[in-house]
Amino acid sequence: MTGISGAHRVSAHSGHELIVTAETRPFFEAAARGVLLLGHCADCGSFHYYPRPFCPHCFSDSVDMREAGGWGTIYSFSVVRNVETPYCVAYVALDEGMTLLTNIVRCDIEALGIGQSVRLVTDPDAGDVALPLFTRAGRPG
């Protein structure tokens, strides 16, 4: 349990713990299924990331979650090498317009570059909640 009412800690891909609340649970459950949910405001029509009960653009509380396409571009990244197994932390610019901090997985991290296309993937060991993860991928079509 955490200091946040109704929140629970759950182990994540990176070995860190997620703090899952009633408001964020649908987001983390969807990520475990390979679906990226973004906040959407019914009043101003804006999408937003991270899950929250209000729109950060107009402060309306008329928000819901909508499924994103799951595609983006590497905006910036860093390979963490001072650990037993190096890993990549990256900012991914989603096609929907926002940028999120994530991990790039299941690819040659030495071949990563800014501007490369990535798609959402699942963590097969995640259980019922997970963080959204991405891998290098060519665009369909």
Q: What pLDDT is attached to residue 94?
A: 96
For the beta carbon of residue 16, count every other beta carbon within 10 angstroms: 9
Which residue from 129, 130, 139, 20 is spatially nearest to 70, judged by alpha carbons? 139
- Report pTM: 0.84
Domain 8-136 sits in CATH at 2.40.50.840
Phi, psi dihedrals of residue 111, rounded to the nearest 5°: -100, 5
Phi, psi dihedrals of residue 108, rounded to the nearest 5°: -75, 105
From first to last of its 141 residues, the chain has per-residue pLDDT tens of: 444 444 444 545 556 677 888 888 899 899 989 999 999 999 999 999 888 889 999 999 999 999 999 999 999 999 999 999 999 999 999 999 999 999 999 999 999 999 999 999 988 877 788 889 999 998 776
Q: What pLDDT is attached to residue 39?
A: 93
Token pair 């609340």 is found at 21
User: What residues does each domain of the chain span?
Assistant: 8-136
* 3-class DSSP state of 116: coil
Contact, 103 vs 56, CB < 8 A? no
